[in-house]
Structure 1
Amino acid sequence: MKILAIADEESRYLWDFFDKSKLEGIDLILSAGDLDPRYLSFLATFTHAPVLYVHGNHDSIYDTVPPEGCICIDDDIYVHNGIRILGLGGSMRYCPGKYQYTDREMSARVRKLWWKLKRRRGFDILLTHAPAYQLNDGRDLPHQGFRIFNKLMQKYQPRFFLHGHVHLSYGRQHMRYDKFEETHVINAFERCVFDFDDENLAQHIR
């Protein structure tokens, strides 16, 4: 399954210089947040692939201008062709804002998912906006990751963890690809295409 992951910055390659052929072969589009809702709607118009998203900390506009033709999976597990995707949007709380949470608040969101996690027997992809704690995150509060994400990966061993929030343009210490135990970690900043079944993913993600 070929997946297009996007976050934080609208890709000019896809939006300004769009050609329908650029989405050929894409089976699923996952947005990790902080993108113009019109951008997501635009992509949904030109593909048969589902466009799933979680909220970023700057996505309050979605309340009045929701991404049409797209599916919000915040606090839910969405199954596509047998692939279970758990969505947990938002960032660390650093000022008043709807999609910001303390570490304790994010943990409480996860506890409320216990029945869905049990019924689905875990998940294959963790889709979030913020990174995990001390895993490609920032040391400043706004970009600090959540500890509960590390615990989720340790307990359920998903194949992928996709996040945004930490722009690759912030510095060389922020990487496109990493690994946490058995989980492939991908920073979806702007755009990234990968194959769910790729056994040599580390060689193909940059």
Structure 2
Amino acid sequence: MKILIVGDKESRYIWDHFDRERFKDINLILSSGDLKPEYLSFLVTMIKAPLFYVHGNHDGRYIYKEPQGCTSIDNQLVVYNNIRILGLGGSQNYNNGNFQYTEKEMTLRIKKLKKALKKHHGFDILLTHAPAYGLGDGDDLCHRGFQAFVDLLDQYSPKYFIHGHQHLNYGRQTRFRTYKNTSIINSYEYYILEY
């Protein structure tokens, strides 16, 4: 199964120079946030695959204009083709904006999902906007990751953790990391995952 992962920056290659042949085998699209709703709608129009997304800290516009043809999985565990995907958008609360959470608030969001996690015996992919604490996050509050995500990785050991927020052009960022048995992928711009 091929999954197109997108986040944080609209790809000119995809949006301005769309090549149907390059994306013909995509089965699913996952967005980790901070993309224009029109871009996500474009993706599901041009690529005949479902698109699941979580909110980024700059997605306040989604409150008024959600991407058409796409499905928010924020605060949800969804199953697609037997792949269990847990969605948790947002970043650390640095100015009380939309989709910003304290560590305690993120922990409470996860606690509300415990019944679904138990029912589905965990999850295979964790899709978030912010990274986990100490795993590709930044030093400032805005870009600091959540310890609650580290706790999820420790408890459920998913196959993949996909996040955005930390742009690859910020400096010491890398697309791939490994934490125990979990492959971590930074979704910046786009990446095609062979699941």
Task: Decide: shared fold, TM above 0.5.
Answer: yes
Deviation at 1:22? 2.5
C-alpha separation between the residues in 2 aligned to 1:68 and 1:61? 13
Deviations 1:68-99 (A, max 9, x none): 00000000011110000000000000002120
CA contact (8 A) 1:34 1:56 kept: yes
Aligned partner of 1:12 in structure 2 is 12
Partner AA of 1:56 in structure 2: G
Runs of at least 5 residues in structure 2 that lack an aligned partner in the other structure = none
What SS does structure 2 have at the residue aligned with 1:155? helix
C-alpha separation between the residues in 2 aligned to 1:158 and 1:4? 18
Matching of residue 184 in structure 1 with residue 189 in structure 2: no
What SS does structure 2 have at the residue aligned with 1:49? coil
Deviation at 1:116? 0.6
The two structures have a TM-score, normalised by structure 2, of: 0.98
Deviation at 1:47? 2.1
CA contact (8 A) 1:14 1:22 kept: no
Matching of residue 24 in structure 1 with residue 24 in structure 2: yes
Structure 1, 20-29 or 77-86: larger mean CA deviation: 20-29
Q: Cα RMSD between the aligned structures?
A: 0.7
Identity value in percent: 53
Deviation at 1:19? 2.3
Aligned partner of 1:199 in structure 2 is none
Deviation at 1:18? 1.1
C-alpha separation between the residues in 2 aligned to 1:148 and 1:107? 6
CA contact (8 A) 1:50 1:70 kept: yes
Aligned partner of 1:100 in structure 2 is 100
Query: 1:78-97 maps to which residues of 2 (within 5 A)?
Result: 78-97=78-97
Runs of at least 5 residues in structure 1 that lack an aligned partner in the other structure = 197-206
The two structures have a TM-score, normalised by structure 1, of: 0.93
C-alpha separation between the residues in 1 aligned to 2:192 and 2:152? 24
Segments of 4+ in structure 1 off by > 4 A? Answer: none
